[in-house]
A and B are shown apart, each in its own frame.
Chain A
Amino acid sequence: MILEKQMADLGRYCTLMTKVLTAPDRWMVFLKRTIGEMFKLGIDSIPLVITISVFIGAVITIQMQLNISSPLLPAYAVGLTTREIILLEFSSSILCLILAGKVGSNIASEIGTMRVTEQIDALDIMGVNSANYLILPKVLGFLLIMPVLVILSMGTSIIGGLAVAYFTDMISVSKFTYGLQAFFNPWYVWYSLIKSLVFSVIITSTSSYFGYYVKGGALEVGKASTQAVVNSSILILLFDVILTKLLLQ
């Protein structure tokens, strides 16, 4: 029964995406909407990204110092492991899980409200491809702004770690900085960016799907919003495993 429902959802999702991935009716309108979505979904998330990244960067540094300090390991290992955690998981997967909450619920509730107030029907009756008009700018806008958010998160997380080194006597700034630069593999940055691009599509398309097919009223919009966040998060974790296996092994 559950499997049947999941398969039906997957089928409807694919059908919706075939409507989304078509040429826009008006390119100028599409461009304006895409830029608008980049601001709404991406630029507006920057304060959240900076706040979370600075604090998590600081916490990772403290945890590393407390848990891996050993006479057998060099002191710069704290900087090195902090960097690897930030590059490999935090600034892509964990950040996207957090953004799934903010951006996903925003998209699902916006599109869901449009559905229950007949605004989507109005678009359809006018002859506008409502799925393409509403969803494609969100998918593309968030996809384009995601690398900026990820790079920003990496930078501010490291600043958080450096702040711990600077303001406390847990580790010296020079050793932490040395650790940050030691054995650096640039592919990890690309790996993180590739993952975040996939996750951005998962967040926007999944949330749009749940919003687009809402039936009922305000209660159902709330439920769709929750479903969007839960399902986006599960898919992010699933694809995290798949992409890690594909890109790092």
Chain B
Amino acid sequence: MIKVENITKSFDGKTILHDVSCEFQTGKTNLIIGQSGSGKTVLVKSIVGLVRPETGRILFDGRNLLTMNQKQTKDLRKEIGMLFQGSALFDSETVLGNVMFPLVMFSDMTPGEIRDRALFCLERVNLKGADSKYPSELSGGMQKRVAIARAIALNPKYLFCDEPNSGLDPRTSILIDELLSDITHEYNITTIINTHDMNSVLGIGENIVFLNKGHRDWVGNSEQIYTSDNKALIDFVFATDLFRKVRAYELQKRGLS
């Protein structure tokens, strides 16, 4: 479990995160949602240690990231997998090279074992046969799947995903969501997904943290979101006619108007 306590972060005098506290549970898909500029990316970057908050604590199963020394931080990072918005695959490496990279750098496996593990991860994300291709030869969805394979190569305890569906068509987005959800449950990972894709929110959101102007405004799951009376949340999630109809239908089903 990852616990964030009273995080505050400012850039150039402007406070982006105001005293944010929340919990992300193990074996669940935890979502951070909010409008553009609400502080989602800063929160994720703070949790993974790319940005250092001014106040607060970030606890990875009780271990505070902000008080760790260099070695402890390095050890913790071996337990973290991250999927970036633009995939962040290494251009100069093949698909297999990308997935093998963390294993080569941090595992004590033999070259044969490393190759087998990388091929297994590629198979797990349904990319069998693409191992000799370069990232530039792949579609956006395939690049995302390679990035997921690389992120899970070292059997991480924590998986972070920054806008995993950006730039993808709806069908591919659903496939990526399902893949992330399956992997989370299969390997009992603490997965944190930063998204503003409403299909993801309503589809895989087991624990949702809603950020509004840098404040943690609401916490719940995809079921509770329909019945929430938080106006900012409702305006954000059910912004389109289609989603408003979905909400009306869900409320009607529950006997609520």
Q: Whose C-beta in chain A lies nearest to the C-beta of B90?
A: A119
Known: A118-B85, A119-B88. A125 touches B48 (CB 8 A): yes
Give A118-133 as 1s and 0s: 1 = Cβ < 8 Å from B's Cβ atoms.
Answer: 1101101111100000
Q: Whose C-beta in chain B lies nearest to the C-beta of A126?
A: B102
B105 / chain A contacts, CB cutoff of 8 Å: 25-26, 29, 126-128
Partner of B88, one of A29, A118, A128: A118
Docked pose: A189 CA to B75 CA in angstroms: 48
Are the C-beta atoms of A125 and B50 separated by less than 8 Å?
yes
- Most chain B CB within 10 A, of A29, A118, A125, is at A125
Docked pose: A122 CA to B88 CA in angstroms: 7
A38 CB to nearest B CB, Å: 16
A127 / chain B contacts, CB cutoff of 8 Å: 73-78, 105-106
Secondary structure at the B interface, as helix, strand, loop or mixed, is mixed
The reply to whether the CB of B104 lies closer than 8 angstroms to some CB of chain A is yes
Interface size class of A (residues with CB under 8 A): 10 to 19
B19 CB to nearest A CB, Å: 25
Give B29-50 as 1s and 0s: 1 = Cβ < 8 Å from A's Cβ atoms.
Answer: 0000000000000000000111
The reply to whether the CB of A117 lies closer than 8 angstroms to some CB of chain B is yes
Q: Whose C-beta in chain A lies nearest to the C-beta of B45?
A: A121
The reply to whether the CB of B86 lies closer than 8 angstroms to some CB of chain A is yes
Residues 92-115 of B contacting A (Cβ, < 8 Å): 101-102, 104-106
Q: Whose C-beta in chain A lies nearest to the C-beta of B104?
A: A29
Q: Whose C-beta in chain A lies nearest to the C-beta of B98?
A: A122
A118 / chain B contacts, CB cutoff of 8 Å: 84-86, 88
Are the C-beta atoms of A121 and B88 separated by less than 8 Å?
yes
A26 / chain B contacts, CB cutoff of 8 Å: 104-105
Q: Whose C-beta in chain B lies nearest to the C-beta of A26?
A: B105
A33 CB to nearest B CB, Å: 10
Residues 59-79 of B contacting A (Cβ, < 8 Å): 73-78
Are the C-beta atoms of A117 and B102 separated by less than 8 Å?
no
Docked pose: A41 CA to B91 CA in angstroms: 18
B65 CB to nearest A CB, Å: 12
Are the C-beta atoms of A124 and B104 separated by less than 8 Å?
no
Q: Whose C-beta in chain A lies nearest to the C-beta of B70?
A: A129
The reply to whether the CB of B121 lies closer than 8 angstroms to some CB of chain A is no
A23 CB to nearest B CB, Å: 13
A29 / chain B contacts, CB cutoff of 8 Å: 104-105
B77 / chain A contacts, CB cutoff of 8 Å: 124-127
Partner of A122, one of B49, B73, B84, B106: B84
B64 CB to nearest A CB, Å: 18
Known: A26-B105, A29-B104, A127-B106. A122 touches B82 (CB 8 A): yes
The reply to whether the CB of B80 lies closer than 8 angstroms to some CB of chain A is yes
Docked pose: A124 CA to B74 CA in angstroms: 9
B74 / chain A contacts, CB cutoff of 8 Å: 127
Known: A26-B104, A127-B74, A127-B78. A117 touches B86 (CB 8 A): yes
Docked pose: A128 CA to B106 CA in angstroms: 9
B160 / chain A contacts, CB cutoff of 8 Å: 125
Residues 98-133 of A contacting B (Cβ, < 8 Å): 113, 117-119, 121-122, 124-128
B117 CB to nearest A CB, Å: 15
B49 / chain A contacts, CB cutoff of 8 Å: 125
Docked pose: A126 CA to B88 CA in angstroms: 12
A128 / chain B contacts, CB cutoff of 8 Å: 105
B153 CB to nearest A CB, Å: 10
Residue contacts A-B, CB under 8 angstroms, 28 given: A25-B106, A29-B104, A29-B105, A117-B91, A118-B84, A118-B86, A118-B88, A119-B89, A119-B90, A119-B91, A121-B84, A122-B84, A122-B88, A122-B90, A124-B50, A124-B77, A125-B50, A125-B82, A125-B160, A126-B77, A126-B102, A126-B105, A126-B106, A127-B73, A127-B74, A127-B77, A127-B106, A128-B105
Which B residues contact A (CB, under 8 angstroms)?
48-50, 73-78, 80, 82, 84-86, 88-91, 101-102, 104-106, 160
Which A residues contact B (CB, under 8 angstroms)?
25-26, 29, 113, 117-119, 121-122, 124-128
The 3 closest A-B pairs by CB, nearest first: A127-B77, A118-B88, A122-B88
